[in-house]
Structure 1
């Protein structure tokens, strides 16, 4: 599965959330990561984030796609991080 993760967490937890997420996904830009995951690694990511995120203050959203082939990304402005797609 291809996963896009976006998050909005308290500043005190940003670095911890990013550290966990980068073990599984590629950082793209502020608060956005993406990458190919197995079902097991997706569940592991969620479990690790569950220990860091405060559900009363923070938000993490996962967009899950069956395949990367159906994604078209267009960039306006500078590329901030992560992998570069070649089309």
Structure 2
């Protein structure tokens, strides 16, 4: 399945550690697109692993993480305004 993941970490004294662990975990599974946005194809099992690992770091009372899922990336259309750093060619 095709996944777009984005997170927002609340800035406080522990946020640097949370952000670092979250970023490294996402980078192992997905392609880093922009700041806290990742995309890529994952199996159901790898998506479950990713979410399980992220639950260790995301603070449910301060941070947020969104995951959009689609059966196929070709169902999505990408439009960019401003500087475009196209790290993937998954969108048409």
TM-score strictly above 0.5: yes
Q: Which residue of 1 aligns with 2:45?
A: 40
Contact (CA 8 Å) 1:3, 1:34: kept in 2 or not?
yes
Distance of aligned partners of 1:25 and 1:76 in 2 relative to their CA distance in 1, 3 Å threshold: same
* Moved >4 Å (runs of 4+): none
Shift of 1:77: 1.1
How many residues in Structure 1 have an aligned counterpart in Structure 2? 87
Structure 1 vs Structure 2 CA RMSD: 1.6
Instruction: Note the C-alpha offset of 1:64.
Output: 0.5
The structural deviation recorded for 1:24 is 0.4
Aligned to 1:54: 59
**Which ranges of structure 1 fall in alignment gaps of 5 or more residues?**
none
Q: TM-score, normalised by structure 2?
A: 0.85
In the other structure, the counterpart of 1:7 is 7
Question: Would you say the 8 A contact 2:9–2:64 is kept in 1?
Answer: yes
Secondary structure class of the residue paired with 1:52: coil
